[in-house]
Amino acid sequence: MQWDAVGIYLLIIVIAAAVILWAIFGRRIRASAREKGREAGFDSSQRIAQGDLGKLRQALTIDSSDAVSIVDEAVSANKRVTALGAGRWNLRVIAPDDIEFRWSDAGQLHVVSSRESLGVVTGGRDWAKVIAAVEAAAATRQAATARTTVSLTRSPEKVGLDHVWFAD
């Protein structure tokens, strides 16, 4: 019975030592691994920071005279989208105005501005869902759609707490 207790105490001591050592050396190990990755040409911070940017550059053209009503119909069920009127909407990722998108006079639905969150571009998946919903709504009205891309440029200075990406 006494030896069983010793085994349990040793196990607890080993686990506690591992936790303490990871707390002390874990940050150094991660920083060293990150630095080795950069030296090898793998910069995960760029990939993470701009991961959603490609999705946010996606735009949609709709061959229909009532395209704005198609978009309104498609996004009406999405609780993250707020209609601003005049063919403009906001998409909430974290804050209500994280992504603003609109229907342009050129016949295109695209992101007008997108706010970073802690230096990371966010909202790509949410925007992809909006695009897919609009495509589905257009298909029910037999309106042809085509995906295109727009150019987004990062603000040189922070707007509030974060940088904002604007359509050119």
One domain, residues 116 and 141: yes
Say if 122 falls within a structural domain: yes
SS3 68: helix
pLDDT at res. 44: 57
Say if 48 falls within a structural domain: no
Give the C-alpha separation, 128 to 56, whole Å. Answer: 8
One domain, residues 61 and 114: yes
Residue 124: CB partners within 8 Å, gap ≥ 6? Answer: 51, 52, 53, 54, 55, 56
pLDDT at res. 48: 52
Q: Are 115 and 97 in contact (CB under 8 A)?
A: yes
One domain, residues 13 and 82: no
Selection from 55, 29, 57, 33 nearest residue 44 by Cα: 33
pLDDT at res. 45: 57
The amino acid that residue 35 corresponds to is E
Number of domains in the chain: 2
One domain, residues 63 and 146: yes
Q: Are 31 and 81 in contact (CB under 8 A)?
A: no
Which residues span the domain enclosing 25?
2-42
pLDDT at res. 46: 60
Say if 16 falls within a structural domain: yes
- Mean pLDDT, 10 residues at a time, over the chain (168 residues)? 76 90 83 78 60 89 91 92 93 90 91 87 91 95 94 88 88
pLDDT at res. 24: 85
Say if 47 falls within a structural domain: no
Token pair of 38 as six digits: 């950069």
Give the C-alpha separation, 110 to 72, whole Å. Answer: 14
Q: Are 60 and 145 in contact (CB under 8 A)?
A: yes
